[in-house]
């Protein structure tokens, strides 16, 4: 009995079925990041509101979604909501759970970025008579983004791996497809080692992109100060 079938392991690294699963993982991550940033930005702005009721509601949202496992949130959305007459398919349930969960984390990252911008920048924008939305877009957000980029990058890195949880509702991303391939020959170690390589390549690629973004925005900030 062979402990590890190396030729089969190499074959799994070029397996089209697994490669398409990796692409689904990337697509899930991309859509979740975009949706999470939009919702997270909204939550962050509401969190800085002067309305106590609004702030309390946002705090409650963040508390729930950061304080409970993503797996439970996913199962509730996929199997619980249909009992209330709200039904989503596998893809819809996966994306909804991922976006709602990610937004809770991104909201705090975005809020901390805004809080890191010196008060003088807000005052300068007001002195120039800029509308609130324009001051946010042109003055505050670029500086806040530079501050939040490291945390944002780490969150995306974690999200790439968290998408594997959606396999429990049969979302055919990399993990689910790895399980399906594994059942053909029961080569557990070979298949999951190949899957690990795919995840490692994706997170490494994102790490390179993140470093490039940090250097770019760091250089731009240094040029502005100079």
- pLDDT for position 115: 86
CATH number for domain 6-220, candidates 1.10.3720.10, 3.40.50.620, 3.10.20.30, 2.60.40.1760: 1.10.3720.10
pLDDT by residue (tens digit) across 77-106? 999 999 999 999 999 999 999 999 999 999
- pLDDT for position 216: 83
Residue 26 has pLDDT above 70, yes or no: yes
- pLDDT for position 1: 47
pTM of the full structure? 0.90
Residue 73 has pLDDT above 60, yes or no: yes
Give me the mean pLDDT over the 41-62 stretch: 94
Residue 135 has pLDDT above 80, yes or no: no
For the residues of the chain, what is the DSSP string, one character each? --S--HHHHHHHHT-HHHHHHHHHHHHHHHHHHHHHHHHHHHHHHHHT-S-HHHHHHHHHHHHHHHHS-HHHHHHIIIIIGGGGT----HHHHHHHHHHHHHHHHHHHHHHHHHHTS-HHHHHHHHHTT--HHHHIIIIIHHHHHHHHHHHHHHHHHHHHHHGGGGGGGT--SHHHHHHHHHHHH--HHHHHHHHHHHHHHHHHHHHHHHHHHHHHHHHHHHHHH-
Give me the mean pLDDT over the 9-27 stretch: 97
pLDDT by residue (tens digit) across 170-224? 999 999 999 999 998 889 999 999 999 999 999 999 999 999 988 887 765 555 5
């Amino acid at each position: 009995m062979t402990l590890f079938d190396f030729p089969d392991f190499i074959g799994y690294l070029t397996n089209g079925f697994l490669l398409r699963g990796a692409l689904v993982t990337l697509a899930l991550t991309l859509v979740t990041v975009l949706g999470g940033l939009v919702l997270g930005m909204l939550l962050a702005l509401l969190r800085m509101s002067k309305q106590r009721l609004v702030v309390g509601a946002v705090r409650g949202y963040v508390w729930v979604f950061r304080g409970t496992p993503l797996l439970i949130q996913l199962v509730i959305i996929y199997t619980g909501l249909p009992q209330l007459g709200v039904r989503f398919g596998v893809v819809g349930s996966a994306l909804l759970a991922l976006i709602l969960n990610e937004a809770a984390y991104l909201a705090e990252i975005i809020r901390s970025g805004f809080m890191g911008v010196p008060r003088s920048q807000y005052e300068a924008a007001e002195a120039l008579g800029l509308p609130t939305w324009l001051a946010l877009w042109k003055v505050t957000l670029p500086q806040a983004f530079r501050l939040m980029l490291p945390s944002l990058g780490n969150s995306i890195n974690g999200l790439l791996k968290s998408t594997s949880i959606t396999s429990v509702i049969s979302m055919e991303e990399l993990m689910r497809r790895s399980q399906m391939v594994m059942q053909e020959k029961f080569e557990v170690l070979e298949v999951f080692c190949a899957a690990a390589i795919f995840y490692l390549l994706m997170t490494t690629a994102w790490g390179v992109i993140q470093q490039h973004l940090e250097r770019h925005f760091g250089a731009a900030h240094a040029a502005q100060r100079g």
